[in-house]
Amino acid sequence: MAEASQTASRGLEPGATETALRERELTRIQMRLLAEPGNRDALVRAGTLLYEMGRFAEAIAHLERSVSLCQCPLCRSGKAHQADKSHPKDDDTQYQIFTQIADCYAALNDYQNSENYYHTAITLVPDGADAYLGLGTLAMRRRKFDLAREFFQTAGDFHPDCSEAYGGLAMVHQHRKEYDKALDMYLKCLELNTDNLVALLGLFQTSCEMGNFSQIIRYLEIYLDGHPSDTSVLFCLASLYAKEGRLHDATEAVAKVLALEPDKPEAAELLAELEDAEA
């Protein structure tokens, strides 16, 4: 489905934001759809753009319309695909369409439709990670932790390098107060993706519960090497340095926070406490 995707493959134009580029491409595609309402490739690309922009109800309308135009008898009947019957078009492409629709329904808290689409996606690509991760997240929201663990584990079994699978397992262990196991899973997640903020937060919470901050400090430092202006993470690091008695490092970190965000009251309070401690 390369049609209508050329803009997305180009780098950002000077002064333009990613959102503005998506809006521009979406406008072009919608104009084309006025002339060709049955253009499936254009419907899919428009749906993907809307999905990426967080306009989930509109994304569903476009993506489901593209599915309804598919000539596959199973799509036309609305029935799930059978694992032994290949889709007439590329299964991976159809898989992405179904998982995107499922993600959209999940974002709108329509769990039943979301679950149905994830399962349909699995019939197309039984070893894909995204649908299992989505089902695991739905199970977590419903507090069905055993089921969530099974889905995250399945994603990890198929894809041992899937950081999200380890992150999902970590969250299950954290909810069960199995902090040793949660810590291990968060660390595996961050070894694969040091930019995962959800895992960083989970590791921070787990470290606080265990009173062991050495691992989280290391990963916060690694994250900040690539994101030096993230004041939220900088402040967390300053707080942890203070807890560990590293007052000089804490003072340096909180000073960076205030240089970037002078009106952050909690940072000013921490700096005052550190100055009193060092006096």
Average pLDDT over residues 65-92: 61
| Domain 1-124 annotated CATH 1.25.40.10 | yes
User: What's the token pair of residue 105?
Assistant: 């329904």
Residue with tokens 């499936």: 40
Q: What is the mean pLDDT of the chain?
A: 87
pLDDT digits (tens, 9 = 90+) for 6-63: 322 333 344 458 888 999 999 999 999 999 998 999 999 999 999 999 999 999 999 9
Phi, psi of 179 (to 5 degrees): -70, -35
* Global pTM value: 0.80
Least confident span in 3-7, 103-107, 126-130, 184-188 = 3-7
Least confident span in 56-60, 123-127, 153-157 = 123-127
pLDDT digits (tens, 9 = 90+) for 223-274: 999 999 999 999 999 999 998 899 999 999 999 999 999 999 999 999 999 8
Average pLDDT over residues 197-223: 89
